[in-house]
């Protein structure tokens, strides 16, 4: 799955997470998981102020989009100065899990 700005959403993409109103993020979902997007639906979501969508697969090649290996190498480099600090290694592990989870579906 992939989270994309709504400007890049296109018909036939399928929602991987439910969508909630931007001004009421804890409220009920306005569009369920698994919904297929259409032009008119995207327009309505835009009008409701929705800024981003999480969709199935990896439909959008975003600029600077990196592969899993590259992302993990970047992570290692970012944390290279704090390799001996246990707390920072915990933080790094949280990010590693996040990167791996987000790359599910994106080769």
Partner 1 sequence: MTARRDEILEIIRDTRSLPTLPGVVNKLQALSENRKSTIEEMARLVSSDQILCARVLRLVNSPSYGFYRVSTITNALILLGVNVIKSLALSSSIFEIMEKSILGLWEHSLGAGVAANVIARRLKLPEVEEISTAALLHDIGKVIIKEKCPGDFEQVESLMKARDVTMLEAEREVLGTDHAEVGEWLVRSWYLPDKLSEPVACHHDVARAEAHQVKTAVVHLADVLVKASGFGFSGDEFVPRIQPVAWERLQMTDADLAAIVEELEDKLVEAKNFSLEIQSADDGTA
Structure tokens at 77: 């480099």
**58 touches 107 (CB < 8 A):** yes
- From the CB of 98, what's the least distance to partner 1, in Å? 6
Q: Is 80 in the site for partner 1 (CB under 8 A)?
A: yes
Structure tokens at 67: 């592969």
Window contacting partner 1 (CB under 8 A); options: 28-36, 38-46, 71-79: 71-79
- From the CB of 49, what's the least distance to partner 1, in Å? 7
Could you tell me which residues come within 8 angstroms of residue 92 by beta carbon, excluding any fewer than 6 positions away?
A: 75, 79
Interface positions, 3-42, toward partner 1 (CB under 8 A): 3, 5-7, 22-23
């Amino acid at each position: 799955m992939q989270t994309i700005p709504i400007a890049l959403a296109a018909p036939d993409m399928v929602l991987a997470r439910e969508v909630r109103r931007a001004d009421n993020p804890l409220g009920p979902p306005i569009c369920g998981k698994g919904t297929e997007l259409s032009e008119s639906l995207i327009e309505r979501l835009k009008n409701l102020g929705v800024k981003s969508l999480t969709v199935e697969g990896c439909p959008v090649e975003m600029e600077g989009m990196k592969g899993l290996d590259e992302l993990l190498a970047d992570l290692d480099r970012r944390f290279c100065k704090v390799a001996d600090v246990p707390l920072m290694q915990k933080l790094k592990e949280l990010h590693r899990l996040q990167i791996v989870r987000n790359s599910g579906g994106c080769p």
